[in-house]
Structure formats: structure tokens, C-alpha cells
Amino acid sequence: MNYHPTAYKKMQPGHSIIQKIYSLSPNTASCSRRACFVGICVCLIFYYLAPYFFRQVFSGFSYKSAVHLCTTRHLAPHYLSAIEFDASINHLPINEKDGEVPQLPFVGNGKLASLVKYEQEDSGLYLFYDTLFTNENKKEEKEHKLLRLPYDPLLRPEHVTGSHHKEEVSVVNFRNGIVEHLSCYSSSHGPLFLNHTVIAHRSRPNVLLQRLEGRIDGKSGSEDVYIHQQTINHNSVFK
Ligand SMILES: *[C@@H]1O[C@H](CO)[C@@H](O)[C@H](O)[C@H]1NC(C)=O
């Protein structure tokens, strides 16, 4: 920019601003016009993209909080049982901040048993059996042992439409021996709640029951859930 040093010296108090504008105008006109144009473009882009951007960000937040709310709501009846030591609640991963004590979600009736963990290698079917052994007093004693079968009947439901938010909790009910694997998934219809219960029958000890119930909280709609079940392994006793 070409300021005339003499122009400033001659300035009168009342004329100063007008003088300045005159002195700026010829050289900076194209520059400020360009700045104006860029400014308008930025405003337009912001105007059109901002709602999309905020919708993305806030829907992320709202899906996450909806999933969290779903878990909290369905767990509500269990919180009291947990306080009275009738149940143990474990978030996956474990919520150590709130003083959760890790509990193995193991369900069994003395004949057969199962570990209700979707991600774990050692989940599967277990059989109890008795062996005789002689103790240090040379007396025969019976020992109750567990044998892991190379067969895993545990169902593993997955939400196929790819929900980005998911919460899983396992609840061991000490009174009835039922293990619940509860999961909440985000979905466009509202949070999807899955209740997977595993029961080792007490009076029919060779029966292991699994019950899977799904529902969408709030709005109605339907979602596809994929149920994965490992096929019988080649080295299985059930071959
Ligand atoms: C899950 O299903 C079982 C069996 O129907 C029921 O006893 C339990 O209350 C359900 N849990 C939740 C959190 O809805």
C-alpha cells in the first residue's frame, strides 16, 4: 500500500477519517472485494454444512446417551438385588470406578454348566463328573470335577445393521441361578434391547435353557439381529 507520508501530516482533525478512506481506496479495492467474496463463501458453506455437521455430532451424543439410558433402565430392578447381595452386576468392560467386583457369569446345576461370555475363549459347555481318589489317610474320597467339552452351545446375538454404540452387562442372579446377558444397541428406531438368559435346569439336570428376547424401546420398528452359534467342533464328543 502506498501511503503518502505528507497526506497524514496535512490532516485536519475533522477530515482525518475521510482522508484515510480516500488514501486506502484505490489500491485496496480489489483486495477487500476478494476478502468480501471469500467471507461470503465461508458464510454460505457454514450455513449449508453447519446443520449437517451439528446433526452428526449431536446424533452421536444422543445415540450414546440413549444406549446408556436403555442399559440403566433395564438394570434398575437388579440394582436393589445387587445391594442385597442377591445379584452381581458386571458391565463389559468392568466398571471398576463404581466398585464392581468381577464375577464369572457361570451357570450350572451340578451336572452341566456354561460360561456366559461372548468374547471369551473358554466359554462353552462344561460337564461335572465324580472321581475317586485316596487321600493321605488312605481313605477313598469322591471329588467333583469339571470337564470342558469342545462344544459351545452359547448363542451370540449381534446387531447386523451396524450400530455404533453398544453396551453390555452380565447379571448373575444368586437366588435362582439365572445368568442374564443384557445388551443395548443404538438403532435408528430407538435403542434395541436384547435379554439373553441362560438357565441350567435344577430338576432336569441335563437341560440347559437359553432364552433370547429383543425389543426396541420407545418407538416401534424392527431391526435384524444375527444369531451366531458355533457349529459342533470336529473333535466334539457329539460328532
Ligand atoms: C430377562 O428375561 C428373564 C427371563 O424372562 C427375566 O426374568 C428378566 O427379568 C429379564 N431381564 C430384564 C432386565 O428384562
At residue 7, the pLDDT reads 47
At residue 89, the pLDDT reads 94
- For the cut 50, the answer to whether the pLDDT of residue 113 exceeds it is yes
Mean pLDDT for 165-192 is 92
pTM of the predicted model over 0.95: no
Domain layout of the chain by residue ranges: 16-58, 59-228
Quick check: CB of 180 below 6 Å from ligand 1?
yes
7 CA distance to ligand 1 middle (Å):
87
112 CA distance to ligand 1 middle (Å):
22
* 3-state helix/strand/coil string of the chain: CCCCHHHHHHCCHHHHHHHHHHHHHHHHHHHHHHHHHHHHHHHHHHHHHHHHHHHHHHHHHHHHHHHHHHHHHHHHHHHHHHHCCCEEEEEECCCHHHCCCCCCCEEECCCEEEECCCCCCCCCEEEEEEEEEECCCCCEEEEEEEEECCCCCCCEEEECCCCCCEEEEEEEECCCCCEEEEEEECCCCCCEEEEEEEEECCCCCCCEEEEEEEEECCCCCCCCEEEECCCCCCCCCCC
At residue 34, the pLDDT reads 87
At residue 196, the pLDDT reads 96
Quick check: CB of 199 below 6 Å from ligand 1?
no
Quick check: CB of 208 below 6 Å from ligand 1?
no
- For the cut 90, the answer to whether the pLDDT of residue 90 exceeds it is yes
What is the pLDDT confidence band of residue 238, given thresholds at 50, 70 and 90? low
127-157: pLDDT as tens digits: 999 998 888 888 888 988 999 988 888 999 9
Quick check: CB of 197 below 6 Å from ligand 1?
yes
155 CA distance to ligand 1 middle (Å):
16
- For the cut 70, the answer to whether the pLDDT of residue 171 exceeds it is yes
Q: Who wins on pLDDT, 188 or 171?
A: 171
